[in-house]
Amino acid sequence: MKEGVKIIEKVAIYPGSFDPITYGHIDIIERGLEIFDKVIVAIAHNAEKRSLFTVEERLEMVKTVFRETPDVIVVSFKGLLVDYVAKTNAKVILRGLRATSDFEYEFHMASMNRSLNTHLDTLFMMTSKDYFFVSSRTIKEVASLGGAVDGLVPDLVVTRLKEKFKLPVNKRKQIGWDD
């Protein structure tokens, strides 16, 4: 190494609901690791969004999926993403883009985050052709109706979905997701 050359670790933060994590998310994280030294997967406590899995359950699933990948750090956060990012050494927000329908929301969020913190940039990665139709929402819908989601989410998530949807409907309402 040349004297005086400082190697700075490149860290990206990948925020989302991950309710639950899918192979679409995993593909973005793995491709993110080709560019960044570390990817922080940041699971949002989002009071407005009804979730099927608790934050603890989502954390456990993502941590298990990446248990052998130390460069993936899994955390949860409350409040504004930019405030959380400021507590980390991430300089870039990583997001996936599936279709034009994702674009408008993502464009607004990226612009808002940049206006809140001008040092923070958002990097978008195009979904892979195998997962462009995969969203946590459709996974939950299909699984709730007894459809197979194998190959679209890790086996662990298939098991957790089966456990959730064994619950009677009134219990599902209690945990906040009843669509």
45 given a catalytic annotation = no
Stretch that binds ligand ADP, among 16-24, 31-39, 77-85, 165-173 (CB under 6 A): 16-24
Nearer to ligand ADP, 124 or 165 (CB): 124
Residue 162 annotated among the catalytic residues of the structure: no
CB of 25 to ligand ADP, least distance (A): 5
Residue 51 touching ligand ADP (CB under 6 A): no
Question: Should residue 102 be labelled a site residue for ligand ADP when binding is judged by CB under 6 A?
Answer: yes
- Show contacts with ligand ADP in window 104-163 (CB under 6 A): 127, 131, 134-137
Closest CA to 41 of 49, 54, 30, 50: 30
- In the 3-class helix/strand/coil scheme, how is the chain assigned residue by residue? CCCCCCCCCCEEEEEECCCCCCHHHHHHHHHHHHHCCEEEEEEECCCCCCCCCCHHHHHHHHHHHCCCCCCEEEEEECCCHHHHHHCCCCCEEEEEECCHHHHHHHHHHHHHHHHHCCCCEEEEEECCCCCCCCCHHHHHHHHHCCCCCECCECHHHHHHHHHHCCCCHHHHHHCCCCC
User: Shortest gap between Cβ of 41 and ligand ADP (angstroms)?
Assistant: 9
58 is catalytic: no
CB closer to ligand ADP, 1 vs 47: 47
Q: Closest distance between ligand ADP and the C-beta of residue 8, in Å?
A: 25
153 neighbors 124 (Cβ within 8 angstroms) = no
Per the annotation, the verdict on 136 as an active-site residue is yes
Catalytic residue among 95, 136, 160, 164: 136
Please identify which residue in 12, 13, 25, 42 interacts with ligand ADP, judged by CB under 6 A.
25
Q: Which of residues 58-97 bind ligand ADP (CB under 6 A)?
A: 95-96
